[in-house]
Chains A and B, each alone.
Chain A
Amino acid sequence: MNTLIQKLWKMRGGVHPAFHKDDSTRQPIQHTAIPPQLIIPLQQHVGHLPDLKVAIGDTVEKGQMLASVSAVGIGAAIHAPTSGVITSIEERTIPHPSGLAGSCIVLDSDGKDDWGNQRLAPLADYRECAADELLQRIEQAGVVGLGGAVFPSEVKLASAGEGNVETLIINGAECEPYISCDDMLMRERAEEVIVGIDILMHLLKAKRCLIGVEDNKPEAIAALNSALETLGAAGNAGHGQIEADQGSNTQLSGDSSDSASLAIQTVSPIASAPRIEVVAVPTMYPSGDAKQLTRILTGIEIPKGVRSPSLGLLCHNVGTAYSIYEAVVAGKPLISRITTVTGNGIQSPQNFEALIGTPFSFLVEQAGGYTDKAERLIMGGPMMGIALPSDGLPVVKACNCILISSRDELRLNDHDPADDERLVMPCIRCGKCMQACPVKLLPQQMYWHARARDFEKVAEHNLSDCIECGACSYVCPSHIPLVDYFRFAKTEMKAQQQAAIKSSQSRERHEFHEFRKAREKAEREEKRRKQKEALQKKKAAAADGKAGEGDSKQDAIKAAMERAKAKKAALKAAAKNKQDNSDAV
């Protein structure tokens, strides 16, 4: 047996709740009947709303793209989970904690489940494909992270870049109580998962892959190991070469879907098998958090704001690896996922391969219906899941579990049944939350400041590092819903930040407006001043002109006077001459 890692690192903190996973793992994954109507929200992923490609009244085939990746930014495509007619595109309540509505495509199925020619061309010889081609396929198939983040896988893989990732971590820890979809997937479709991993390793040029699985899933670990052995042996027989003919292909068992079994026959042996290792990690919530699992497996703590590929790491969920396998090898877009339907509110808890858009109520019916204890509906697990108001909501890509329980099933201690609602007591700062916190926060201090709405102080206590795992709430002897306070503080801080941005924007706008007003005023004044100046100049010039005229007049007068004087003198002289002449006579 190869050993790719020397030791496991110990997780800090964590809690060990009752896991209740056996309830839903007694039966194999069931395929549901095709629901008469599917409700497909457009926003099922992180990123922009995809661009609609269909209109009301369109007949669509199974696997047809209903909406493509947004032209303006990252996102994921949405496909028709079955064939039928689009009867409506409207705002409907979506499974989201806000309870808000979002755009949904309503598809009335025709029951034929007809692919038409929508199936993507299988890329069985993916090892010959360029990374770009594979990335394009993953994008085309609308694959998103199925561990809960629903981040578009293509974007994550493309941004990691080829050759940067030394260690690919596949997250099969599934640490949250009640959920068993990944467990069942690994048990029943281990070989497909391994092929998916091989695709990822080829795409990333990763050196090794560690599959982290909590040790409370021995069947899954065994299944993965035997799949590795089978596929690896076949790979070694072929010396890692891709067999052009399918002769040496391993015949894979598996009662998976038609698409999967069809595709697996075209899969070549796995050359990377010796570089893949299944690692059993101690069962401790929340070891399935990507950063926690990374630390357990490699000892590396990924700091806040640092992208894991820059440390040579990348983490994907097993469900995502399986979807990538389906997209690449089977040509099947992400139109279904495995969903656990469980809790003491369900007659027969089990896992389904559910079409995206299937109403919860349809799945519950398939699981034998409700018991009389159905009082709470949670999407996800009891620690991080969200309470939802109605079972009319549809399965989305993020929906790993539908948990229906009585009000007090999840309170695992034997408290007085007379206390219907347990009183939340004041915090006594006992520090149990601090000991349970896997990221070394001080929840008791953060709670204090969050209650006082002193969000600046909460931020100083590194609220942004909180992964909202709920371990603090779980251990609190005062039964304070600590994680709710932290979620509240986060949204509140975001709102404040946005308000601050908005106000600074409007202040800038206002300042610019004032500036413009001032500038315009200055310009106007300048203009006016110039005009005035020009006018004055003109006036002055005019006055100068008049003065010149006066001079010439005076000159003329002077001249005239001189002339007159001269005339007078001449006349005087003539008279004198006359007198002299008369004297002489």
Chain B
Amino acid sequence: MQFDTRITSLVNDAPDISQLMKQVLYALIPAVATLLYFYGWGVLINLVLAVVFALALEGIALWVRGKPVKPFLKDFSAIVTACLFALTLPPLISWWLILVGLFFAIIVAKHLYGGIGYNPFNPAMIAYAVLIVSFPLQMSQWPGAYSVTGEWLSLSDSLSIVFGQMDADWDAITRATPLDEVRTGLITGQSYQDIVAGDHFGWLSGVAWQWTSLAYLLGGLYLIKARVISWQIPVSVLAGLAGVAALMWLVDSSIYASPLFHLFSGATMLGAFFIATDPVSASTTPFGQLVYGASIGFFIYVIRTWGVYPDSVAFAVLIMNMAVPMIDYYTQPKVFGDSGRAVHGKR
């Protein structure tokens, strides 16, 4: 009797890429719920539009490149990119900005480099960086949290604003984000303590932001527990950021924000657990991941404190994406039998 010998690696018990990606999506649920609670329908509209655009762009790109469309669409990677990108956007942003961003994420950052697995840069962060550089005004129009303004915009009004049917009274709706507020306050000479004494600040950061950050943290811990991500990158990002922040805060706590404020403001938690951990564009060796993460934390602080942008997770991640090949090359672990320590027989 004759047998087929083509497949030689016979066993594969692993969850596949789509399962890993789905777990990432599950981990985002607490943060999405929190954001919905504080910012209303705009958050959901962003997510839905982003997913629709991303899938459409991904499908087109795969078709043009002559790749099998269905299995690659089913890997969920485009959906994850879309969701992460959508969560960095201010709610009620115009629909076409989402499309422009995702064009850069899916087409430019991902498929021009060879599709999933080949992108040297984090696609969602490329999209964010393109938008914040090109459309700084729209990108900084964050509506105030519902708990602050007490105004809940209806779904139809939200949709009208997003699709340009209705002009929003931006001055009335928007509020400065905590990072922005602290930044502007410090520039105008207020002390850090006075700025955060406002009643829309919680014990960690802005009320809405601290809860959102905690929700990201919860999701991130689930990802570590489920072994979707390793602990090295998130821990080192947070430690890198908190370390520098603590140092500066000790130097002068009236002009430098506290480490806790940095940890629970802006996109820190999202970046540490969901963005910097994108395996394709991150360092892959255990020690390299520590270097990579700590550097991201460092750059987040530097750009936030002395740069022109209030938040800087995207730039910090993109900068370190560039360094990944070098980090990986110089941080190869020692192989079995090479550690010296364990060889304790004769000699």
Residues of A within 8 A of B (CB): 12, 15, 17-18, 97, 99, 177, 291, 295, 298-304, 306, 310-313, 361, 370, 374-378, 382-383, 385-391, 405, 407, 410-413, 415, 422-423, 425-432, 434-435, 438-442, 444-445, 461-462, 465, 470, 473-479, 481-484
* A17 contact set on B, CB distance < 8 A: 11, 13
* 5 residue pairs bridging A and B, Cβ less than 8 Å apart: A382-B11, A388-B5, A412-B13, A442-B285, A465-B336
By the criterion CB–CB under 8 Å, are A477 and B17 in contact? yes
- Which of B113-121, B236-244, B299-307 makes up part of the contact surface? B113-121
With contact pairs A413-B13, A423-B71 given, residues A429 and B4 touching in the complex (Cβ less than 8 Å) = no
* A312 contact set on B, CB distance < 8 A: 345-346
* A177 contact set on B, CB distance < 8 A: 11
By the criterion CB–CB under 8 Å, are B3 and A390 in contact? yes
By the criterion CB–CB under 8 Å, are A440 and B334 in contact? yes
Asked if B134 is at the interface of the complex by the 8 Å CB criterion, the answer is no
Beyond known contacts A177-B11, A476-B14, A481-B8: 19 more, CB 8 A cutoff: A304-B337, A312-B345, A378-B10, A385-B10, A387-B4, A387-B7, A411-B12, A412-B12, A413-B13, A425-B71, A426-B117, A428-B77, A428-B280, A429-B279, A429-B284, A430-B20, A461-B332, A470-B9, A483-B9
* B9 contact set on A, CB distance < 8 A: 470, 473, 481-484
> Interface centre among A302, A426, A483, by most B CB within 10 Å?
A426
By the criterion CB–CB under 8 Å, are A477 and B3 in contact? no
* A407 contact set on B, CB distance < 8 A: 4, 7
* Chain B nearest Cβ from A345, distance in angstroms: 9
Asked if B187 is at the interface of the complex by the 8 Å CB criterion, the answer is no
* Chain B nearest Cβ from A14, distance in angstroms: 12
* B17 contact set on A, CB distance < 8 A: 425, 428, 477-478
By the criterion CB–CB under 8 Å, are A427 and B117 in contact? yes
Residues of B within 8 A of A (CB): 1-17, 19-20, 68, 71-72, 75, 77, 114-118, 230, 279-280, 282, 284-286, 328, 332-339, 342-347
By the criterion CB–CB under 8 Å, are B336 and A440 in contact? yes
* B343 contact set on A, CB distance < 8 A: 300-303, 306, 311
* Chain A nearest Cβ from B164, distance in angstroms: 37
Task: Give bound CA distance, A303 to B334, whole Å.
Answer: 11
**Interface SS, A side:** loop
Partner of B338, one of A299, A303, A389, A432: A303
Q: Which residue of B lies closest to A475 (CB)?
A: B14
By the criterion CB–CB under 8 Å, are A477 and B14 in contact? yes
Partner of A428, one of B2, B116, B328, B339: B116
Task: Give bound CA distance, A301 to B279, whole Å.
Answer: 30
Task: Give bound CA distance, A462 to B285, whole Å.
Answer: 14
By the criterion CB–CB under 8 Å, are B337 and A291 in contact? yes
Q: Which residue of A lies closest to B13 (CB)?
A: A412
Task: Give bound CA distance, A483 to B11, whole Å.
Answer: 12
* A428 contact set on B, CB distance < 8 A: 17, 77, 116-117, 279-280
By the criterion CB–CB under 8 Å, are B336 and A301 in contact? yes
By the criterion CB–CB under 8 Å, are B11 and A474 in contact? yes
By the criterion CB–CB under 8 Å, are B15 and A413 in contact? yes
By the criterion CB–CB under 8 Å, are B13 and A423 in contact? no
By the criterion CB–CB under 8 Å, are B336 and A12 in contact? yes
By the criterion CB–CB under 8 Å, are B284 and A376 in contact? no
* A311 contact set on B, CB distance < 8 A: 343, 345-347
Task: Give bound CA distance, A311 to B77, whole Å.
Answer: 49
Q: Which residue of A lies closest to B20 (CB)?
A: A477
By the criterion CB–CB under 8 Å, are B1 and A370 in contact? yes
* B338 contact set on A, CB distance < 8 A: 301, 303-304
Task: Give bound CA distance, A431 to B280, whole Å.
Answer: 10
* Chain B nearest Cβ from A341, distance in angstroms: 14
* B339 contact set on A, CB distance < 8 A: 301
Partner of A302, one of B3, B286, B337: B337
By the criterion CB–CB under 8 Å, are B10 and A382 in contact? yes
Partner of B2, one of A299, A378, A390, A438: A390
Task: Give bound CA distance, A411 to B12, whole Å.
Answer: 5
By the criterion CB–CB under 8 Å, are B336 and A375 in contact? no
Task: Give bound CA distance, A477 to B14, whole Å.
Answer: 6
* B11 contact set on A, CB distance < 8 A: 17, 177, 382-383, 410-412, 470, 473-474
With contact pairs A410-B11, A425-B75, A426-B118 given, residues A442 and B16 touching in the complex (Cβ less than 8 Å) = no
With contact pairs A311-B346, A444-B284, A462-B335 given, residues A391 and B14 touching in the complex (Cβ less than 8 Å) = no
Partner of A479, one of B12, B72, B333: B12
Partner of A431, one of B1, B230, B346: B230
By the criterion CB–CB under 8 Å, are B335 and A391 in contact? no
Partner of A300, one of B2, B279, B344: B344
6 nearest A-B residue pairs (beta carbon): A426-B117, A311-B345, A303-B337, A439-B336, A481-B9, A387-B5
* A474 contact set on B, CB distance < 8 A: 11-14
By the criterion CB–CB under 8 Å, are B284 and A479 in contact? no
* Chain B nearest Cβ from A110, distance in angstroms: 27
* Chain B nearest Cβ from A97, distance in angstroms: 8
Task: Give bound CA distance, A403 to B129, whole Å.
Answer: 54
* Chain B nearest Cβ from A440, distance in angstroms: 5
Q: Which residue of A lies closest to B288 (CB)?
A: A442
With contact pairs A438-B336, A439-B335 given, residues A425 and B117 touching in the complex (Cβ less than 8 Å) = yes
Task: Give bound CA distance, A301 to B336, whole Å.
Answer: 7
Q: Which residue of B lies closest to A430 (CB)?
A: B279
* B328 contact set on A, CB distance < 8 A: 442, 445
Q: Which residue of A lies closest to B115 (CB)?
A: A426
Task: Give bound CA distance, A376 to B6, whole Å.
Answer: 9
Task: Give bound CA distance, A311 to B338, whole Å.
Answer: 15
By the criterion CB–CB under 8 Å, are A425 and B8 in contact? no
* Chain A nearest Cβ from B328, distance in angstroms: 7
Task: Give bound CA distance, A387 to B116, whole Å.
Answer: 31
By the criterion CB–CB under 8 Å, are A442 and B2 in contact? no
Q: Which residue of A lies closest to B277 (CB)?
A: A430
* Chain A nearest Cβ from B173, distance in angstroms: 39
Q: Which residue of B lies closest to A481 (CB)?
A: B9
Task: Give bound CA distance, A442 to B338, whole Å.
Answer: 15
By the criterion CB–CB under 8 Å, are B337 and A301 in contact? yes
Task: Give bound CA distance, A53 to B337, whole Å.
Answer: 43
* Chain A nearest Cβ from B27, distance in angstroms: 15
Partner of B117, one of A295, A429, A479: A429
* A388 contact set on B, CB distance < 8 A: 3, 5
Task: Give bound CA distance, A15 to B280, whole Å.
Answer: 23
* Chain B nearest Cβ from A427, distance in angstroms: 5
* A300 contact set on B, CB distance < 8 A: 342-345
Partner of A375, one of B4, B12, B342, B345: B4
Q: Which residue of B lies closest to A289 (CB)?
A: B336
By the criterion CB–CB under 8 Å, are B333 and A442 in contact? yes
By the criterion CB–CB under 8 Å, are A475 and B5 in contact? no
Task: Give bound CA distance, A465 to B336, whole Å.
Answer: 8
Task: Give bound CA distance, A484 to B5, whole Å.
Answer: 13
Task: Give bound CA distance, A461 to B331, whole Å.
Answer: 11
* A429 contact set on B, CB distance < 8 A: 117, 279-280, 282, 284
* A441 contact set on B, CB distance < 8 A: 335
* A375 contact set on B, CB distance < 8 A: 3-4
Q: Which residue of B lies closest to A364 (CB)?
A: B1
* B118 contact set on A, CB distance < 8 A: 426
Task: Give bound CA distance, A432 to B19, whole Å.
Answer: 14
Q: Which residue of A lies closest to B289 (CB)?
A: A431
Task: Give bound CA distance, A299 to B344, whole Å.
Answer: 8
* B6 contact set on A, CB distance < 8 A: 387
* Chain B nearest Cβ from A407, distance in angstroms: 8
Task: Give bound CA distance, A383 to B12, whole Å.
Answer: 9
* Chain B nearest Cβ from A401, distance in angstroms: 13
Task: Give bound CA distance, A462 to B75, whole Å.
Answer: 32
Q: Which residue of B lies closest to A461 (CB)?
A: B332
Q: Which residue of B lies closest to A383 (CB)?
A: B11
Q: Which residue of B lies closest to A392 (CB)?
A: B1
Task: Give bound CA distance, A20 to B2, whole Å.
Answer: 24
* B284 contact set on A, CB distance < 8 A: 429, 431, 434, 442, 444-445
* B20 contact set on A, CB distance < 8 A: 430, 477
By the criterion CB–CB under 8 Å, are B13 and A475 in contact? yes
> Interface centre among B3, B16, B116, B118, by most A CB within 10 Å?
B3
